[in-house]
Amino acid sequence: MNEKEPRFISLVSDTTFKYLWKNERTRKWFNEIIMDKIGIDLSNFELVDNESNSGSSIKDQRNDIALSDLNNEIVIVEMNSTYSEGEERKYRYYLYRRAGNNYLKGKEYTDRKHTLLIAFNNYLRPNMPDEKIIYSWFGDHDHNINYKDIEMYEIFLPKYYDLCYHESNKIDKRLCMFGAKSYDEMKKTTSNKDDLYIVEELIRLGKMDEFIDEYDYEIVRQKLINTYKIEGLAQGKEEGLAIGKEEGLKLGRAEGEKSKQIEIAKKMLDDYVDIERISKYSGLSIEEINDLK
């Protein structure tokens, strides 16, 4: 009996991302990327809630990964496959909300505890297309006040895809794997044993019906969201055209009525009718009638 052919599983999938963070060896693989690119060691952090970070079920759409250490510091790790202002607002909002929980602790709060968000973005930000990594700090920029207990790093994955077959370090080659479209492409990118272990793990997941169900659910959900956006935009345009047509008719009727009023007023002026009487019958103001003289 032939062995089941594995589905290709992408690293930029939320479902894949969450699953790999539950495995100690594959989590270490991600941690090495973060340590190299951002300089933060997450080896002592653990998933805050394994149940709420287990897959792509409806209850699990809040964030990708939430980690905490013994000092109760929080690190949120996000995988974002496509850019939208809504998605950007969503993960920033979650960062603010997590950080806000610390402020509610009153006297127990210390500025040593902070909340960090790390976003792996499979897109380039429209207004900053050349950036590989962006660090955002929060505070009052006008007065140079920095709230050191809340910060965010964004890694823009496509900036590393062109480095795959050029001279690059181990981590840059690792980031190239996120843009791969096949397992063979991943294997051509690197010969590192930890990277190849990731490929083998993806192949294993590609044969698991239960995982594929979750993986496909995410793909369908994203396509539905995109469809709703496109249909919503099209509907908005149609409604806008309809509204524009109606407004145009209203404007035309108003301009026609105005022309009729002016015509009546001019005829009455020619007959030397009193201005107040002209205003009464034409509907024009006295100022408008004087302008016609």
Mean pLDDT comparison of 1-5, 48-52, 221-225, 288-292, highest-scoring range: 288-292
Residues 179 and 167: their CA atoms lie apart, in Å, by 17
The answer to whether the CB of 78 falls within 8 A of the CB of 64 is yes
Q: Could you tell me whether strands 65-68 and 145-156 are parallel, antiparallel, or unpaired per DSSP bridges? A: unpaired
Report the greatest alpha carbon distance in the chain: 106
Does residue 11 surpass a pLDDT of 90? yes
Q: Could you tell me which residue, 253 or 23, shows the higher pLDDT? A: 23
Residue 256 has a pLDDT of 63
Extract the tokens encoding 40. Answer: 């933060």
Q: Phi, psi at residue 77, to the nearest 5°?
A: -120, 125
Give ∠ CA 18-21-26 in degrees, rounded to 5. 130
Does residue 162 surpass a pLDDT of 90? no
Alpha helices for 14-84 (secondary structure H): 14-21, 24-38
Mean pLDDT comparison of 13-27, 73-87, 186-200, 273-287, highest-scoring range: 186-200
106: left (phi over 0), alpha (psi -120 to 50) or beta: left
Residue 128 has a pLDDT of 80
